[in-house]
Each structure stands twice: as structure tokens, then as C-alpha cells.
Structure 1
């Protein structure tokens, strides 16, 4: 028997596709930034599937925020080593 409900990964990819026209309207540099954000979303799609909600955009936003926080923490550590 096949699945009756789409996987969370499929829901996420569908949501990303909804933003395709927005992406196309961006400059090349901004498209690259957008693509990087979507990579961050895909990186955390497994964890997002445990949320128990189908509001995919909320999960996508949290994944992006999490990745940004990780990057900030890495930069802070680098700055600490430079200032020591």
C-alpha cells in the first residue's frame, strides 16, 4: 500500500517550490542567498518532521534561525581566539 499522506520532506519541497517566482524576481546574488537558506531548511527537515504540525513555513523559519545561530556562535568563538 502506498502512503496516503505526503512525507514532511515532500511538503517542504512543495513549500520551497511555492517561493520559486519570488526567487526568480531576485538578483543573482540574492538568488544565491535564497538558495543557501533553502539548503539550511533541507538540512533540518528530519528534525522538523517531529514537530507534529503541518505548518511547514514555521519549521522552515526555525531551521533557518537555528543555522544562523550556529553561524553566530562559530563567529563568536573565532573572535574570542583572535582577541586572546
Structure 2
């Protein structure tokens, strides 16, 4: 009999649960930031399923990196826009 593959959303939830003690040790604002990171992983669950990685932690980390990169790009664009406005261009 073959091994049953755990659905990626369940695997992500299990990964998140495994960090519960770490989360509790964080300050409230850091807990919120960590929750945002884990939310990013859940937002990309479909992509994680498509990638068929054996370690759900890899999916979690990559999803977090993608969302952080998107946030960085948005901030860079905003800084550029504000710089242009400030220079009178």
C-alpha cells in the first residue's frame, strides 16, 4: 500500500501549530507579524500543492518570501512616487 499524502493546507496548519510555543514567547506585535507570515503560507497553499514539495516548511518559507518581496516592491514604488512628487517632476 502506498503512503497517503497529507493535503497541503493540513500540512501548513500542522507546521503552524508546531510553532505555537515560539509564538507564545513573542511579544504581541511580533505574534501579529508571525501570524501574517503564516497567513501568507495559507494564501499560497494551492501553489504549494502544485509544487509537490515533501517538506511543507519549504512551502511556508517560500510563500512568506514571495509576500515579503511583494511588500518590498510596493514600498519601493511608493518611495519612488513620493520622491518624484517631492522633486517637482
- TM-score in terms of structure 2 length: 0.84
1:37 matched to which residue of 2? 37
Query: How far apart, in 2, do the equivalents of 1:6 and 1:59 lie?
Result: 14
**Structure 1 residue 73 and structure 2 residue 84: aligned?**
no
Structure 1 stretches of 4+ moved >4 Å:
none
Equivalent residue pairs, number: 81
- The correspondence of residues 49-60 of structure 1 with structure 2, limited to 5 A, is 49-60=49-60
Structure 2 unaligned residues grouped into runs of 5+: 85-89
1:47 matched to which residue of 2? 47
2:10 matched to which residue of 1? 10
Query: How far apart, in 1, do the equivalents of 2:12 and 2:54 lie?
Result: 10
Structure 1 unaligned residues grouped into runs of 5+: none
Structure 1 residue 5 displacement after superposition = 3.3
- Report SS of the residue matched to 1:49: helix
- TM-score in terms of structure 1 length: 0.89
